[in-house]
Amino acid sequence: MVRSGHDVLVTAAASLGRHVTDLELAFTPSGPDLVPIRSELIMYSLEEERQAIPGHFIARLGPARARDLITIARDWAADLMISDDADYGAVVAAEAVGVPHVSVVVSAAGGLATPELIAGPLEALRAAVDLPVESGLLMLQRSLTLNQFPPTFRSPAAPLVGSVVNYRSGPVPPQPPAADGGKAYVTLGTIFNTESGDLLAKLTSAVAASPQVSSVIVATGEHIDPSELGPQPDTVMVHRFVHQQQILVSCSVVVCHGGSGSVLDAIRFGLPMILLPLGADQPLNAARCRDLGCAVVLRADRATGAEIAGAVGRVLTEVSYRDAARRLQAELRRLPSIDDIVPALERLS
């Protein structure tokens, strides 16, 4: 949008502000902040995570987000509001101030926010900002939906509804990367990494022990000190942060928690995965990766070092995993770029 000459204001939790200003974008804080807490390994069941949608994202965060966004949008005279698909406060805020809303899919496989769980809480959220009584599901369907994942990755049990535009949010290599280097990338993302106990250290040791792996790059996230992983051999490089897409171009496998961002980047580079889901949408993403043949899925609380090393060796030696990842990569490459879909957003405003 900025490249097309539009004024853009980004608003989110206060602690995310520096990431936005680093990109030289205008920022103002809104809604409750997120404070990571370091803990032992915590795994959440799919049912617990589904219940968090109406209880946390709608009932708790929704009113606070809506109040802040209504004020910000009015003061800034916004013409369009764009949010991720779990920011329900943004949807009602856009309607309250009378501007179109665009929802960006951030849960790759879908299936967390089931209609029967969210319909009633959404109606209550509408009432909290004095919107007319109607089904909350109708409100969601009025939003234009932007889907940054390969369309076939979406679970058939959770189809996107309403007007949907599929696109690719970043560059996709024109040719599949070489698979012969045996370089592995290990990460637990930026949220669940703080609730993972010693899992990252366990993964690092196991992946490095795989005979098919020549080197390992580990990203701990900003809230975990790399020293927690202890001394490492020369073949293992541990960083708080890496430019993921710059790293993946030379990798052969991704070992991660199955978060949508990590999965998307692995697909972008046609890389097979070892997935150990911890919560949120990760079990659903992992199941979809397994069903599509591009990943081996392990239990984070049960997998042994030998099982992890064996799984890495398996996806590096059995070409079916890379072939499946490359099919998704090719599908993503065929989608219009993010710049190409700007006219669709301009027509809304």
Note the pLDDT of residue 36.
Answer: 78
Note the pLDDT of residue 186.
Answer: 97
Question: Angle, to 10 degrees, between the axis of helix 319-333 and the axis of helix 305-317?
Answer: 70
- 196 and 157 both lie in a single domain: no
What are phi and psi for residue 236, nearest 5 degrees? Answer: -115, 125
- With the C-alpha atoms ordered 258, 184, 170, 291, is the resulting torsion angle positive or negative? negative
- 190 and 124 both lie in a single domain: no
What Cα–Cα distance (Å) separates residue 174 from each residue in 48, 270, 324, 336? 40, 11, 17, 14
Could you tell me if 58 and 128 are in contact, meaning their C-beta atoms sit under 8 angstroms apart?
no
Is 75 exposed, middle or buried, given 0-12, 13-18 or 19+ CB atoms closer than 10 A?
A: exposed
- 147 and 206 both lie in a single domain: no
- What is the distance between the alpha carbons of residues 110 and 26, in angstroms, rounded to a whole number? 31
Could you tell me if 98 and 89 are in contact, meaning their C-beta atoms sit under 8 angstroms apart?
no
- 254 and 341 both lie in a single domain: no
Domain total for the chain? 2
Note the pLDDT of residue 123.
Answer: 95
- 293 and 343 both lie in a single domain: no
Nearest 10 degrees: CA dihedral of 226, 246, 173, 165? 70
Which structural domain range is residue 52 located in?
9-169+336-348
Q: What's 340's DSSP letter?
A: G
- 77 and 155 both lie in a single domain: yes
Considering the domain boundaries, does residue 320 fall inside one? yes
Note the pLDDT of residue 30.
Answer: 93
Could you tell me if 265 and 243 are in contact, meaning their C-beta atoms sit under 8 angstroms apart?
no
The DSSP bridge partners found for residue 273 are 254, 295
- 224 and 75 both lie in a single domain: no
Considering the domain boundaries, does residue 268 fall inside one? yes
- 44 and 164 both lie in a single domain: yes
Considering the domain boundaries, does residue 2 fall inside one? no
Question: Do you know the residue count of the chain?
Answer: 349
Six token digits for residue 149: 């994942």
Which residue stretches of the chain have pLDDT < 50?
none
Could you tell me if 11 and 72 are in contact, meaning their C-beta atoms sit under 8 angstroms apart?
yes
Residue 312's domain is classified under what CATH number? 3.40.50.2000
Q: Which of 72, 269, 305, 97 is nearest to 183 (CA)?
A: 269
* Helical spans, DSSP H, in the chain: 17-21, 46-52, 61-76, 88-97, 115-128, 136-142, 199-209, 244-248, 260-268, 282-292, 305-317, 319-333, 342-348
Considering the domain boundaries, does residue 176 fall inside one? no
Considering the domain boundaries, does residue 4 fall inside one? no
- 138 and 217 both lie in a single domain: no
Note the pLDDT of residue 180.
Answer: 59
- Stated as kind and residue range, the H or E segment containing 106 is none
Note the pLDDT of residue 176.
Answer: 55
Considering the domain boundaries, does residue 309 fall inside one? yes
Considering the domain boundaries, does residue 178 fall inside one? no
- 253 and 198 both lie in a single domain: yes
- 232 and 165 both lie in a single domain: no
C-alpha atoms less than 13 angstroms from C-alpha of 331 in its C-beta half-sphere? 17
Note the pLDDT of residue 28.
Answer: 95
Q: What's 341's DSSP letter?
A: G
Return all residues near 227 (Cβ < 8 A) that are at least 6 apart. Answer: none
- 109 and 191 both lie in a single domain: no
| pTM for the full predicted model | 0.94
pLDDT tens string 234-252: 999 999 999 998 999 999 9
Q: How far is CA 299 from the centre of its chain?
A: 20
The DSSP bridge partners found for residue 296 are 274
Six token digits for residue 323: 């072939």
Considering the domain boundaries, does residue 174 fall inside one? no
